[in-house]
Amino acid sequence: MRNAQVVFETKKFNSLKTNEFVQYKRVGLTGLKVSRLTLGTNNFGGQVDRETSISIIKKALDLGVNTIDTANVYTGGKSEEIIGSAINGNRDEFVVCTKVGMPAGIVPNATGLSRKHIVWQIEQSLKRLNTKYVDIYYMHRFDEETPLEETLKTLDYLIKQGKVLYVACSNFTLEQLKRAQQVCENLSLEQIVAVQPPYNLLQRDAERELFPYCQEKKLGVFTYSPLMGGFLTGKYSENAPPPLGSRAATNPRYAERLKSANFVALNKLKAIAQEVGVPLSKLALSWILKNPVVTSVIVGASKPEQVEQNAEVVDYKLDDALYQRLSQL
C-alpha cells in the first residue's frame, strides 16, 4: 500500500477540484450534495487490482467526483479497505456509501438485517474504511426474517452514535420501502433518504412505480448497472462467446442477459449511436442523467481512462427529441 499512500500524500485536497464536468445534486430533502456520477467499486480488489483501483479513485477525485459506493461484501471487504487507504487524510471531503445485509460469512448471524449483524458489520466497515462514520448506510436487500422495527431502531441508534449520517435502502420493492417508511414514522425514527435500484435503457422496471413515488416523496435515487454489466457498451455479440475476462464470461447472472431480445434492442441502439456520432455508452449514461428523478448514477471502471470518459457524460446535453427516441425503444 506504500505506492497508494504516496499518491495521496503528494497532493492534499483542501477542496475538490472542479471543472466543467462536475455537477452536484442534493439527496432528496437533505442538505447532502453528491456528484451526479458516483464511483462504483464492486470490482476493486477483485477484477481490478489494488494499484489500479487506487489510480481510479485518484482520477475520480481529481475530476470532482465526491461520492463513492461500496459494500461490506464487495471482494470480501477488499473494496472498503482500498477506499479507506485512498481517501486517508481527506475523508470529510467525500461521501462514502456502504451497505449491510448480504451474507458476510458462514456463521448463523453473518447475514441479514438483525441488530446483531448490523452492529457487527458497521464496526468492520468503519475499520476497513478507516473512518469514524459512513455518510450513507444502505440496507443491501430486504430481510424477511427480521422485524423492520429491529432493523430501523438499530440504524437510528447508529445515527445517534454518529457512526452513520443517513440511512437508505437498496433493492427494495416499493411495498417494502413503504413499510419501512411507515415504521420510521410510527416510531419517530430517522427516515430513509434514498433508494438504490438497477436502471438502464433495457432494465426500466423502476419507472413504473418506484420513480414516481420517489419524486412525490422527494427521495434520493442512486441507480446502478447503468450499462447493464457492460452489455450496453456493445462489446458482446449475439453469435460469439463473451470476451475473455468479461462479466458474462465469468458470472451466470450476466450471461443470462445475452439473449436474442436484448440483442434486437441493442442493435437499434447501436444504429442510433452511429447516426448521431456518439458512443453508445455515453448515450446510455446521459439518458439516465436526464431523468429528473435520478440523483446520481453509480458507474464502475476498470482503468482511470474510463473514469474520465464517464465524467465527460455529465457535460453532454442530450436533446429532448433524442431522449424520447431512446426511451421509446
List the grid coordinates of 72: 461490506
Which run of H or E residues covers position 25? strand 24-26
Distance separating alpha carbons of residues 132 and 136, to the nearest angstrom: 13
Range 272-279, long-range pairs (CB < 8 A, 24+ positions): 272/322, 272/325, 272/326, 272/329, 276/322, 278/316
| Catalytic residue selected from 74, 166, 236, 254 | 74
Q: Exposed, middle or buried: residue 46 (CB in 10 Å: 0-12, 13-18, 19+)? A: middle
316 belongs to the catalytic site = no
Q: Where are the beta strands (DSSP E) in the chain?
A: 24-26, 33-35, 37-40, 67-69, 95-100, 134-139, 164-170, 192-196, 220-223, 296-299
Q: Which residues are catalytic?
A: 74
